[in-house]
Chains A and B, each alone.
Chain A
Amino acid sequence: MTSQLATLVAVLIFPGGLFALVLGLALKGADRRVAARLQGRVGPPLVQPFFDLIKLGFKRTMVPTEASETVFLAAPLVGSVAMLIGAALVPIAGVYAPDTQLGNLLVLLYLLAVPGICLMIAGSASGSPYGAIGFSREMALMLAYEGPIVLIVAAVGMRTGMAEGHWVTFSLTEIVRYQQTHGWFLFDPILWPAVAAFAFFYPANLGIVPFDIPEAETEVLEGPLLEYSGPALGLFKVMSALKAVVVLGLGIALFLPLPFTGPLAFVGWLAEIIVLMLVGVTALRVSAGRMRIDQAFVFFLKWPLLLAIASVAAVALAAGGLS
């Protein structure tokens, strides 16, 4: 029972729940501000996302005439829930190890798809053609980036599992622990293709430029989000903020978990995630232009997928081939 209680705390307070929400919104705020600076603007205050969220909470709910109300409103809710849980599934090296009862890397991987699914349902349920286009693009993008992430996860899982004497492990805790003693996978040449593939995966998964194709404001007017307003839109913002934490946290756990424990580890982790956000997300999105969906799709089939396959093959070969 205590473990369940601990899990509940993990989901609601730390490292998921409230903590992840605040962190995520803060990261968003930082992202907006730094981006503005990079573009030569002043930019909003750091807490702007919090203000936005509160304001949205007091708006009225609007539902398009042709939309199926329950589904339309449930979509952002489910997406946020998935990410709140997801945040509790990401370990923080030396600080937090998720409860195995709640799920492992595979569960996280599939939870990570739920926001995308919710956006698709949102776009589709709204009845808007922009939403439908956004839905179609979201799905196409997912088809493109999910293959690489599955293979990346497999590569890392196998790299760890084989070193630990079984075929594979899908326990992030175990993966983190292994790196803490054996060094970052970031520096493991066999996993370099996987690292490279992950570098392509996360911007697509987070839906930022150059892969913000489903929501492209200038083309489809935020696509799935177009018809949303009020608290429902707020929930989508929450979902998006949480997702940044989860995806970046996943990246850290997979490739560069800090070998410390205690407060130092926590601070280090925070630093890592902030740096990743500013370098990986903000700098990228202000410096790149949006791709077309067909370009992005082909691109993902060409590079990240090949890299990921190469990575898995390398891991398998390094461990002594097929048998």
Chain B
Amino acid sequence: MPSLIEIVSPTTAPATIAWIGAVLLLAGEIAALMSLPNLKRVIIVSTVAEFGYILIGIGIGGASGDTGAFMHLGYQVAMRGLVIASGWYIIRRTGSTNLNDLVGSGQRMPLAATLFGFGVFSVMGLSPFKGSFSKFLILYAAIERGQWLLATLATVATIVAAVYYMIIVQRVCLERPAQRIELQPAPRLALPIAVVLAALTVLISLWPAPFQHFAEAFAGLTGPSGVPEFEAPWSTLVLIPYIGGFVVYGLGWVSPRLRDVGAVVLAIATVAAVAVSSDLDATSKLFALLFSGISALMIVYSTSYMATAEWANRYYFFAFLMIGSLVGLTTAHELGNFYVFWELMTWTSYFLVIHEQNKKALNAGLVYFLMCAGGAYVMQYGILVVHASIGSFEFSVVAEKIGSIPPMIGLLAGFCFLVGFAVKAGLVPLQSWLPLAHPAAPSSVSGPLSGILTKAGIFGFVKILFAVFGVETLRRFALGGFDLNSLLLVLGCATLIYGEVRALFEPELKRMLAFSTLAQVGEIVAILAIGTALATDAALLHVTNHAVMKTLLFYAAGAFIMRTGIKQIDGLAGLGRMMPWTAGAYALASFAVMGLPPFSGFTSKFFMIYAAASSGYYAVAALMLIGGVLGVVYYSRVVSVLFFHPYRGRSDVTESPIGMLAAIGVLAAAIVFGGLFPAYQLDLIARVGELVALKGALAAGALPSLVMSWPLGATIAMVGAILVLLVGRSSAAWAGRLAVVVLVAALAGIIVEYGRYDMLSLAFAALIAGVGALNMLHSTAYLEHSHAQGRFFAAFTVMIAGLIGLCSAKDIFTFFGFWELMSSWALWVAISHEETAEARREGFKYFLFNTVGASFMFLGLAMVAANTGTFELAAVGPALLKLPVLAVAPAVTMVFLGLVMKAAMLCIRIDYQMHPALAPTPVSGYISAVLLKSGPWGVLKLFVLFGGTALFSKLGGPINGQPVFMEVISVIAGVTIVYAGAMAVLQNGIKLLLIYSTVCQLGYVLMAVSFGTSLGVTGGLMHFVNHMLLKDTLFLAAGAAMVASHASMLDELGGLGRRMPITFGCFLLSGLSLAGVPPLNGFASKWIIFEASFQSGHWLLGAAAMISSLFTLAAVMKFAHAAFMGAPTKKALAAKEAPIAMVVPMLILTTLSVVIGLVPGLLLVPISAIVGDLGFAPIAATFTGPLPGLEGWSPSVLSVMVAIVALILVPWLRLGHRAGIVRSHIHESGAGDLPPAETRIGAGALYETPDAIIRRALFAPKPADKGEHA
């Protein structure tokens, strides 16, 4: 291919004639636009304007100019002739030239309208066959000669023309008739002429070569011409769907069923062809697989979705043409074909968008088409600039030479490409088509539209800007004025914010999803713009994942709309009951899109944030996390509506039909698979990253490990959870039993794999599974008469799986993955179980709070991994030690902030910070007792892993021999101990009281652990276990009381103790132990904590901790009095002792507490080993010996003494029993006829004075009495 010119510069002055042409063209097109209502006049004026093009071509001259001018003339004869002939026919028959009267001609005169539409599109340069490229040639000539202004004017004119052409086509051919019109007799010749011209148009579109040679000859060129080769032959990959589209269309006339079968076969054949194809480079292969794969599912989905729709044949026809053009885009190895397919993609998808042909769809389609076509025209300009500078369209040649073109030119070309791609991807400010088009299109199309068509824009960025141009070249272009990468970054971030915020306020489901697409695309582009190989990989992983997730979401949304006809989110209330599989898949995809494990979205989100952090783009990472929090808000809202609201719709709504379900199922499977086994995707993607790195002269960073490593225990729990869910569909009772068995098996799994855990984590994991089994047993009775038990048991089990996995984590990805798994969606589902408005609200709040907390940790961990360059937790510590303080401090702060938030420290907004009181009590208890311990556990584990005192002292300190960093945590915990303890005293809600108390006790654990001394850690760990046993007992007892009495406020209870003696006994013993009554186990661990506080110089914290046990005592006593003692209320009178499934767990826990109280060595000996294992000086502990610390006392001795003294006193007490115990009425000062309820002093009436003073001190006003939130 001969190179036309070496360097572009405006050497020749443009001929006047060209300028006349340009002015004629632009003025003409504008005039045509302005004469719009009159079709006849528009056609005439635009025909005249078109001559402007020819004049430009001739005026510029040269091979391209002349050839282009003559070709254009020829094309115009055929195509414009077709427009004129068919237009004339339509106008004559309608009897009006007014566009408003011509509306709906498509239905009155299908053939003529089709020909007319075909003509108009051809004139614009579009058709199912290749479009004309004479304009291309003329523009090229202008650019080649350096006539930028001429070229620009012509491009603008083309865009103007597109506007009125589209309006005309839509109104005449596509819109439904607004009025009935008597048709006039047809003109005789018009239609035959049009048919002939149409045939001619097809011919010269399909085989332009002879026609081109003819034009060249006419222009006086001989031999190997200087006219550039615009197109290469189409690849077979394109031809399969393309020709197949025509075949399917034909089949449709024979039999719809046959058509559907054919369509599916064809779609699968396309995927297969792409999969086995070997001549695609890595980028193309990835996108081709993605495009064809999602498209195949679109066809499968459509077989059901379109089963009864109008114009299904046309739908399939354009669908396959779109598939062909998408695949074609990836097969292009030169800019000509790339552009052709780009245009075809827009055009074919346009027909899918407007498929329903209503006003909304047409309007959306118009905007869609105009914006994308406009963008494409701009891109075309860029393509021509490139060719003019380099002399070739071939990617390989461009890639080779692009490095040497002047920055200004390169920047212009790059910017043009960027605009074209940005429109398609939907970047702000070019996004306005997207939220219109996605909801307006049939749902079968909106999925791929969001999922893959926007990705075509991304493909453009990657392929052209990064793989062909290269990052290095883009940097060089920045010399021309501004940096395209930065622009992309800004646009990406702007789009992200815009999308998230709009989605947040969007009441319509599909529009919400569309805005979310914007946000996700924004993320992808922002990450892509970072420009490293790692960032490219990350962005591409999310491209593939988002395509799958968003398609699923749209498909499920489509199913909802199809079955109910409702588009608003609010209208879908409770639909999860009627369409469990579809809604379930929707929920799954929502969780994935929120970036929650173990789904694919989590992997790519993690990767993206890691990539951003790796390049120091912390702000981008933070922005993504903020966006993620917003995402949680609006995605969880829909899931909540689907599952946690009562169903109010029609009773005949059924599950989605099989074809839709199949597509949704495959996508759901892909989401899970992608989350668990990302290696296959990463393998494809890594090669793209290598390409980009190679081109951009970047270091191709090794991919981080993005596989969560599942320990046996967590695997058992996770698989078990799925089984529980399935079993729960038929039998709730068996699901409960199975869940208990699963957790016992998980415990066994942990023990079998003991080598996988460090000692601390092994102990925690064993407690997690063990206490989990007890709570699960309790909940089988607690929920006996509840709904959706299987769902609850499964979610509960997933939480536990997350916790077990967390314990086993050895790398950062696994750690954070399980962290999210334990505290995100499963937890939310479990605690929102009651499905009341309050439960939903409170559950959501906690979900949101957890997300925020996890986001801090996420960013921190990403920074740690990025700065140290390792994911291995074991290797992080030494690497951190070598880093400068400024690199370490923010990362570590974020991580620990997340951990401290998990433990709900500084509980000023308890309703956000803690699990809601409305959650089923066994899960409340579990969260309080076990799950939240992950906070202190994490602090301890990461403190050690990150380098212990050596590292943290670098960050500041020491105070009292403790690094400032840890000192701050201690103080936060200390303040919380007092604050939460005092708040607990104020509570009258059964669970709120316990919840505040939990925070207070977590404060003890966290404070002690953060002292970082042997004694502190020992005391913290001992209280860790003791509180686990004690608080769980309290919750389970409270739960038993609630089930027995159906009460949620303490004031509704009273006198239960006589009716539920075992429950009461367990409660009182555990409560007093928690309050620190010697010699019970709760006191032993608190004693060590007090000692540790004072011995490490924290006398203020120590005193605060000691005083706060009084608050615990007051709270526990209030509870005990109000619920179990005192006079009974009406609700309490009917109560009976809890069923065996509730009593057994309480008894086991209480027994353990008592045993530990007697022989604390049982805990201390293992804790001593753990403390040593963590690298602290181990404390001396024996099974029977005293507690550690100065003047350690021995609870065993004290207990024995207590027992002896008590035994001596018992006979004295029994003296009074000789004649039997007399049951007497209480003294009521003579008022003997008062019923017990009248003489009762309820929880609200206790502690009046302290209550008022604490309220004043803590600014806690007395709340209006409303349920649990009082």
Contact = CB atoms under 8 A, between A and B. Distances in A.
Interface of A: 4, 7-8, 11-12, 17, 57-71, 73, 76-78, 80-82, 84-85, 88, 99-104, 106-107, 109-111, 113-114, 117, 120-121, 124-133, 135-136, 139-140, 142-144, 146-147, 150-151, 154, 157-158, 161, 166-171, 174, 221, 226-227, 229-232, 234-235, 293-294, 297-298, 301, 312, 316, 322-323
A123 B1250 CA distance: 19
B1209 A230 contact: no
A227 B1083 CA distance: 30
Contact of A169 (B1106, B1191, B1198, B1209): B1191
Contact of A62 (B959, B1193, B1224): B1224
B1247 interface: yes
B734 interface: no
Interface string B1207-1227: 011101111111111111111
Contact of B1215 (A114, A157, A230, A298): A230
Given A61-B1221, A101-B1197, A170-B1191, A297 B1236 contact: no
B1064 interface: yes
Contacts of A229: 1216
Nearest to B982: A143
B1225 to A, nearest CB: 6
B1249 A59 contact: no
Contacts of B1087: 106-107
A222 B1058 CA distance: 24
B1201 A235 contact: no
Given A85-B1205, A117-B1072, A169-B1191, A59 B1216 contact: yes
Contacts of A126: 1226
A127 B1055 contact: yes
Interface string B1057-1101: 110010011001000100111100001000100110011110110
5 contacts: A68-B1061, A121-B1068, A150-B1107, A151-B1103, A174-B1191
B189 interface: no
A20 to B, nearest CB: 11
B428 interface: no
Interface stretch (B536-544, B600-608, B717-725, B1118-1126): B1118-1126
A231 B1216 contact: yes
Nearest to A161: B1094
Contacts of B1208: 12
Given A11-B1204, A71-B1125, 19 more contacts: A11-B1205, A60-B1218, A61-B1221, A66-B1128, A68-B1061, A70-B1061, A77-B1210, A103-B1198, A106-B1087, A109-B1106, A117-B1075, A120-B1121, A125-B1057, A143-B1114, A169-B1191, A170-B1191, A231-B1216, A235-B1212, A294-B1248
Interface stretch (B89-97, B102-110, B735-743, B1237-1245): B1237-1245
B1103 A227 contact: no
Given A127-B1127, A146-B1107, A136 B1225 contact: no
A135 B1121 contact: yes
B960 interface: yes
Contacts of A65: 1223-1226
A139 B1247 contact: yes
A107 B1222 contact: no
B273 to A, nearest CB: 75
B1194 interface: yes
B99 interface: no
A29 to B, nearest CB: 20
Given A68-B1061, A301-B1253, A132 B1121 contact: yes
B1073 to A, nearest CB: 12
A142 to B, nearest CB: 6
Contacts of B1113: 113, 117, 139, 142
A88 B1200 CA distance: 14
Contacts of B1097: 167, 322-323
Contact of B1245 (A136, A143, A171): A136
Contact of A7 (B1128, B1201, B1209, B1216): B1201
Name the residue among B1058, B1095, B1099 with the largest chain A CB count within 10 angstroms. B1099
B920 interface: no
A68 B1077 contact: no
B1247 A111 contact: no
A15 B1068 CA distance: 31
Nearest to A313: B1100
A70 B1068 CA distance: 12
Given A127-B1125, A129-B1239, A146-B1110, A170 B1091 contact: yes
A4 B1078 CA distance: 19
Nearest to B1192: A100
Nearest to B1252: A294
B1112 to A, nearest CB: 11
Nearest to B1083: A110
Contact of B1226 (A99, A128, A158, A234): A128
Interface in B240-290: none
Interface residues of B, number: 88
A168 B1253 contact: no
Nearest to A125: B1125
B916 interface: no
B1186 interface: yes
B1096 A167 contact: yes
A170 B1107 contact: no
Contacts of A85: 1198, 1201-1202, 1205
B411 to A, nearest CB: 61
B1249 A133 contact: no
Contacts of A322: 959-960, 1097
B1 interface: no
B940 to A, nearest CB: 23
B1201 A154 contact: no
A168 B1197 contact: no
The 4 A-B pairs of least Cβ separation, nearest first, read A61-B1216, A230-B1216, A132-B1241, A68-B1057
A66 B1102 contact: no
Given A100-B1193, A117-B1077, A81 B1206 contact: yes
A61 B1227 contact: no
A111 B1078 contact: yes
Contacts of B1253: 297-298, 301
Contact of B1201 (A8, A124, A234): A8
A12 B1205 contact: yes
A70 B1061 CA distance: 9
B643 to A, nearest CB: 42
A132 B1192 CA distance: 38
Given A100-B1186, A100-B1193, A136-B1247, A73 B1227 contact: no
Given A57-B1212, A73-B1213, A117 B1117 contact: yes
A124 B1078 contact: no
A171 B1190 contact: yes
Nearest to A10: B1201
A81 B1209 contact: yes
Contacts of B1213: 61, 73, 76-77, 231-232, 235
B1246 interface: yes
A36 B1214 CA distance: 34
B1210 to A, nearest CB: 7
Contacts of B1058: 66-68
Contact of B1216 (A60, A104, A128, A227): A60
Name the residue among A63, A120, A125, A226 with the largest chain B CB count within 10 angstroms. A125
A298 B1128 CA distance: 33
B975 to A, nearest CB: 16
B1091 A7 contact: no
A120 B1061 CA distance: 19
Given A127-B1127, A150-B1106, A312-B1099, A227 B1227 contact: yes
A243 to B, nearest CB: 15
Interface string B1178-1195: 000000001000111110
A66 B1095 CA distance: 47
